[in-house]
Structure 1
């Protein structure tokens, strides 16, 4: 009876360890977003949105932008659309006129967030000079742009190994009893 209880407890613990990491990211990302708002170097606005803990967004978030110029002109509210430049990256395109603007970006609930920044919109210039390639040493210093979520798989693998390690002795004892004719 005690052996069966231990086996059931081991299986339950293994399942818990295997399923717990899958639920973790959902718990980790409740709350406000981190919104980084800047001018695009001309008359547009760019926004990089991420979770407050620094993780990338997994789902689309609808962001709204309003802007007020120093002379009272206003733009918005404008709903921002994600761009193909990266997860959580939004851009307006040319919506401002040259001058100083106060730009506010809001995210709706459940990740209600708001940030206001001052931006100086400028007339579009010619294409910028080519940026030199980043050296290998510089790339080694910077964090990777993609984050691999390997730890849930590692925990799951460890849980499976723990279950097997606990179950093997019980199976060997059972086979030994069956081969000797003991029930």
Structure 2
């Protein structure tokens, strides 16, 4: 199963944090776990069964794919991040760094998060269906089920989100230039 989260722990994290449900088009992180690294943006290859230590990389990949979606770049057209930056700068007459563009992707990801929270999403929703929380009895991912609670703890910390509420923290929103979305009682 190409997209089975029991075969790719990072993809499991993508599924439970995706703004539109379990969708590999929000981030095809499984490609990283299969060897398709994006070192240029700090997304190294990881062991597909490793649960610990990949949450920041997953978040970074989500920001990259949000940027690609915003620019209407097909995921099947493998365009390097550096080339994307060059194309955007040429088309817009800008001189933005790749990091500036990734920050735009992160802003978009956090805006989607805020919208979903406003519509009723909460951290309790971030789980896989029961079937996908059961280990498979054989095959390449035999016996493996990702430790999503631990991964979510790491993900929230890496993303600057409050674990209890699911909201991006005041500090994170301010750093992203999204101060107008800070609530009075927000951590």
TM-score normalised by the shorter chain: which range applies? under 0.3
TM-score, structure 1 as length reference = 0.21
TM-score by length of 2: 0.21
Q: Quick check: which one's strand share is greater? A: 1
Larger Rg belongs to: 1
